[in-house]
Structure formats: structure tokens, C-alpha cells
Structure 1
Amino acid sequence: MAAPEHRTGEHWEHTSEFGWTSKAYDLLEQDLLRAEVAVVDGVLTTRVWGCCPRCAGRLDDRQVPTSVGDFTGPPRSADADADELLAPVVVVDVTCGCGAVHLNAPEGTTGCGVSFRVELVADSASVPGTP
């Protein structure tokens, strides 16, 4: 599916209404928004990139979220089904960073102002020591 046209004429609005999270999930299902979580050198990192659910601009959000959990626990279980059930979930809040200055945006601000949430399930194979 082709990405929708970036609506740079969309007025800036500081909003985090749930509808934007719902739309982000729709974009994830359409492969117009992507997300990943990984552990690199023992550091949990996330990346969300693709279309903004509000203005359709290209965003690329990278974070090192604060997480609660023990990523240094005992070795993985041999039971793949149990690993899937116990894989850590990482919640990421993303704010549009499309790089465009939208109408009525505060000075020095880019993006349309929307914030949305993505929940990522870490692949237990990529998280050392997850049960």
C-alpha cells in the first residue's frame, strides 16, 4: 500500500487522544508504520518509523526507554510457547517528528503535535536472560 500524502497544512495540535493510537495500530497492520525493540550491548532500544497517524509525515523515533524488568535473569527456557507468553512488553510513547513546521506550531517546533502509544513485544531471543 502506498503511503498517504504528507499533510503539511494540518494545523499543529498538542493531542494524545486514543484515536491516534488506534490509527497508529491500523498503520502498523498496513505496514505503513513499523516498530521494533532490541537489546544492543545490554541496552534496551526502540524504533518506530513510517507514517504519522495524523499528518502522514515520515517520522523516525528512536528511544532508550526506562523499563522495569530483569533482563539479566536465568537462561531462556527450552519451551518456545512459554517464552512467547513471558516475552517483555515495552510501551513507547511517540510524538510526531516529521520535520515539517505545521501551522500554529510553537516557535522552533516541528511535527504536527500528535502523540500516540505503541506496545512492542520484545522477541525473547533478542533479550538476554529473559525466561
Structure 2
Amino acid sequence: MKKPKAPPTRTLTIRMALELYERLVDMAAGLPLGPFILHRALSSDLPLPRVRRRKPIADHAAYAKLLGKLGDSGLASNLNQLARQANLGTLPVMPETEAALQYACSQISDMRRLLVQALGLEDEA
């Protein structure tokens, strides 16, 4: 079965000064510029495009370091084992257990810090 053909489209290229471009970007508030300009030019005949909130990674080195730490830690497996033992009531609370939990908490805290840095966010903690 043949696919129905998409309606023909045309491309429009606009040359403008940098100041005007920056003003358009500010007005679009995160929306793609093409659909935003169409919406503004044709009033409400077209639906307003959806916002893409995906920000690029600000620091690839920190992101790679975080992923490496996460992979090397075995943290998910260890926390799963601790949760299972706690649910069964067989988790002995001894100095070694407490030290392991403190270590896991510090590793999670480090990963959070690296993730916040990699994504270019402000650390609120």
C-alpha cells in the first residue's frame, strides 16, 4: 500500500540583523523560531508550537565523569540488596553496615553535584 503524499511545502529564508534575531529568540521563549514566526504572522490560524525544554549538556567532561562513577559504583545493586534485607528484617545494623551506608550516601551526593554541574544548573543544596 502506498503512503499518501505529504502536501507540498516551501522554505522561506530571512536575513536579519543580529539584534533582531536575538529579539525574536527572546520573544519565542524557547519555541522553535519557524513555527513561532508562522504563528505570529498568521495570528491564531495555526496552533502554537509545543515548547522544547531540553537543554544541552553544559559540561560534557563532568557528565562523562558522572556516568563513569555511576557505572563503577555498583550502587544500584548494593542499594537493592540492602532494601531487600531491610524488608525481610535481616539487615544487621553493625558498624560495617553503617559505614557502607555512609559511603553510599557520599557517592550519591558526589553524583548529584556532578550532574548539577554537567547540566549547568544552580546547586540549591
Is the TM value for this pair above 0.5? no
RCO (CA 8 Å, sep 6+): is it higher in 1 or 2? Answer: 1
Please give the range of the TM-score, normalised by the shorter of the 2 chains: under 0.3
Highest Rg: 1 or 2?
2
Which protein has the bigger helix share? 2
Which protein has the bigger strand share? 1
